[in-house]
Structure formats: C-alpha cells, structure tokens
Structure 1
Amino acid sequence: MYKNIYRLNRISQEIKKEISYIIQKFINDPRLNQFSTILDVIVSKDLSYAKIYVSTNKINDNLKKSSIEILNHASSYIRFLLGKNLKLRIIPQLVFFDDNSYIEGNKISNLLKTLK
C-alpha cells in the first residue's frame, strides 16, 4: 500500500516538472501567461487522469479563465510531449484547474493580522 502511494507521489512530481518545462519551452501561445506556475499534480490511482493545478499571475478573472482554457485545449499536445519524456506505460489524461489558494491564504492572513 505504501509503495503505491510513494510511486504515485514520484510520478506526480515528475509530471509536474515535465509539464512546467513543456509550458515554458513548447507552448508558444501569446494569450497564455508564460509565468504560469504548476502548483500541484494529483494523479488517479490507475494513472488514467491527472488534475493539474495552475496559478497564473493575471489579475483579471477572464484572462485567468482563458489561460486555463488554452491549457485544456493544448492538453493532448502536452500529453504527447509528456509521453516522449516519461517512460510510463500509461500517460494520464490531463485536466488543468485554476488554483487560487495563494490568494485565499493572503486574505485569511490579512484578516488574522487585523484581529490582532
């Protein structure tokens, strides 16, 4: 059981590293923010799906949504490049999500500072 969890963590870290590299070097869409940060990758137990949480530096919500839509549209190309770089039998389907936990954390931190 623990070996499987450890393996999933290693695979998710490798996917995170490779997708970050792929977005920087191979995705040349000018609408996409090149300063997107891959915060977390959650891989299903059977390696069929991967949820990728992305943080962008764009302030406007419409621009953030368009960046996520662009990444989801390019997910098959990213998956193809990922398959070339990773030696896995199954390359998971990629689904990108916007992660605003950093913004929410700052809001909570500011609220706690005002309580003091």
Structure 2
Amino acid sequence: MECSASAPEGREEAWISFGKHNNRVCLMETRGHGIVGPDPGTLNPEQLEQLRDFKIQTRIANEKYLRTHKEVSLLISGFFREMFLKRPDNILEFAAHYFTDPRLPSRIHMQLIKEKKGT
C-alpha cells in the first residue's frame, strides 16, 4: 500500500524528507498507538538507493562536523561524567543546570587549550 497525503482513518504514517527535491517517503505504518512495521511496498529500489545515499552523506557530514568541533565531545563527555558521579534523580533538571552553568564555556575552553598543548 502506498502512502498518501492523508492517511485513512485510524492509520498514521511516519514520513521522511530527503534528497534535492525533498522527496517524501512513508517509512512506517502505525495503527492506534503501536507501529505495525515497515510498509514493504512503500519504497521502490530507486528510493531505497536515494535513502541509503542520504544516510551515508548525513553520517559523513556529521562525522566531519564532530571532528572539527572538539568541544561537542567535551560537552557530552563532561555531562556524562558529572551525571554518573552525581547520579541525580531528576536528569532533566540536572541537564538544564549543567548546560546553563555560566562557567561551562570557560571550562570547555580550558579543556580545549589543555588538549591542544598535549597534541
């Protein structure tokens, strides 16, 4: 069954946009509150290839970004380190405080300098 612009009553569909022409492709069929599973007739071979290429290009772009922005890994590893040390009951509140701490930018900056000296 192909996905249409409006799903039949009782059916919802998850969409992904990709490619130069912002193609929309239905990936999953859901009924009620549960996912029924992939709709095998949804993607034709060309669309599958486009989706595969899109995923590869996205992964490459993300990897390049992370390699040029070391502060991202420092932010994430620092957050996890503090979270595991303190083991807060309210993770969302802890994360909000961690990432809005006015001292965080200078901590990250100092870690970047330290890493650069060690290289």
Please classify the TM superposition score into its range, dividing by the shorter chain length: under 0.3
Structure showing greater relative contact order (alpha-carbon pairs closer than 8 Å, 6 or more residues apart): 1
Tell me the TM-score normalized by structure 2: 0.27
Q: Which structure has the larger Rg? A: 2
